[in-house]
Amino acid sequence: MMRLHIDYDLCSGNGRCYAMFPDLFTDDESGYGQTLNGGVVTDAELAHRATLCCPEKAISVEEI
């Protein structure tokens, strides 16, 4: 299992994460990405692809 994290110091709120991966992310009232399900993802390949979608490199993944 993997857990996704968003570094809000790096996030610019472009929305690519929740546009490309709506099963993993949603947006908050300001348009910044939020992880769903506590960021837990069972598909490691999907989690790594999600990290690559962010142009600011604000999304990271850790194995849990």
Q: Give the CATH number of the domain where residue 20 resides.
A: 3.30.70.20
Q: Which domain, by its residues, includes 57?
A: 2-63
* Number of domains present in the structure of the chain: 1
b/e code 33-56 from CB counts within 10 Å (16+ = b): bebbeebebeeeeebeebbebbee
User: Is the Cβ–Cβ distance between 7 and 61 less than 8 Å?
Assistant: no
Provide the pLDDT for residue 45.
95
User: If you search the block for the tokens 């790594």, which residue do you land on?
Assistant: 48
Chain segment 1-50, per-residue pLDDT in tens: 999 999 999 999 999 999 999 999 999 999 999 999 999 999 999 999 99
Provide the pLDDT for residue 54.
96
CA dihedral 3, 18, 46, 44 (to 10 degrees): 0
